[in-house]
Amino acid sequence: MTLPAAYGYYQINGGMMGELMKWLAGEDVVVDLSGPRPHENVSTIERGKTIYEKHCSICHGDNGDGKSIRSVDMQLKPRDLSAGVYKFRSTPTGSLPTDEDIYTTISRGIRGTGMLPWFGLSSEDKWAVTYFIKTFSERFEEEDPDSQIVVPELPAINADLVGRGKQLYEHAKCWECHGWQGKGDGPKVEELKDDRGLPVKVRGFASEPFKGGSGIQDIYIIISTGLDGTPMASYGDTIPDKDMIALSAYVNAIAMQGPLKDGGMMELLPITSDEHAGMMMTYPAMPVGLMRYGMMRLYSRSDNMKGEIK
């Protein structure tokens, strides 16, 4: 399929093309939680099951345990949804995620991995599948999520604050895993495993986009909650609010730049092999059309750094 043909296809299918283009160009997906939200009941769970079987089981497996034939296509394996341990939450470490957290992950995808944003699903579908995947773990019947972490209002972001964040980054030993410049090359990286014993890669903020959103608030949430099931611990209890903001501002400052635009044309981010695998399964017509276009516009991520910290 040529690009215009692919474009037509995605327009017809709910105009996802534009959304996907923006996402490929590095923009975070804006998640709207204010829309209509179906009740959680037998019929919505049943609807969620149908959606899961059609779109998700190919990777997460029939029982949600992350065991599927297609998982071999990906270096980072799909999550085991039956364990009830979620990486991406707004709740403290050890807690269940809220429904909104799960809905948000499904909506914005997880960059660098096979889990792409689901632009093709309506908000009702996304709520329904959220309700359904909770049935994989009994934890959701037995426990309620703890209260959400509230990000305090951000002060003015200036060189002093970022400088303070840099000291905290050293002091809290973030560099042991993330490296001094945030390239993901600290001394501890070789030995890291997740809770399934699978090797886990540290994020290099300076050279790859964030999984969980690139704003200072998004980073604050990750450092506070930790990514449960991985060596990325929660610092919510050890680092006070003010310091957490400074640290998040520092991580944001050394991070790769967000979307790049070139005279109205989007520059597309190079996609990883896991994203490529995910793309084939999530947006089947894309590889031939948009993706070829994307490939032609690749640029080196190393050209895209903000450079030295003031």
Chain residues binding ligand HEC by CB under 6 A are 55-56, 58-60, 74, 76, 78-79, 86-88, 102, 105-106, 110, 113-115, 118, 129, 133, 172-174, 176-178, 188, 192, 200, 202-203, 210-212, 219, 222-223, 227, 230-232, 235, 247, 251, 278, 281-282
Supply the Cα-derived Rg of the chain in whole angstroms.
19
Burial class from Cβ neighbours inside 10 Å (0-12, 13-18, 19+) for residue 20 reads buried
Residue 175 to residue 184: CA distance in whole angstroms: 8
Minimum CB distance to ligand HEC, residue 238 (Å): 9
* Alpha carbon 179 to its chain's center: 21
Minimum CB distance to ligand HEC, residue 168 (Å): 7
Residue 79 to residue 195: CA distance in whole angstroms: 11
Minimum CB distance to ligand HEC, residue 20 (Å): 15
Minimum CB distance to ligand HEC, residue 265 (Å): 27
Residue 199 to residue 67: CA distance in whole angstroms: 16
Minimum CB distance to ligand HEC, residue 41 (Å): 18
Q: Would you say 274 and 76 are in contact if contact means Cβ atoms under 8 Å apart?
A: yes
Q: Which is nearer to ligand HEC, 173 or 261 (CB)?
A: 173
Minimum CB distance to ligand HEC, residue 264 (Å): 29
Q: Which is nearer to ligand HEC, 129 or 253 (CB)?
A: 129
Q: Which is nearer to ligand HEC, 17 or 223 (CB)?
A: 223
Whole-angstrom CA distances from 276 to 56, 74, 113, 281, 282 are 16, 9, 9, 9, 10
Q: Which is nearer to ligand HEC, 222 or 271 (CB)?
A: 222
**Tokens matching residue 124:** 């009702």
Q: Which is nearer to ligand HEC, 227 or 268 (CB)?
A: 227
Q: Which is nearer to ligand HEC, 3 or 157 (CB)?
A: 157
Q: Would you say 88 and 149 are in contact if contact means Cβ atoms under 8 Å apart?
A: no
Q: Which amino acid is at 283?
A: Y
Residues in the chain: 310
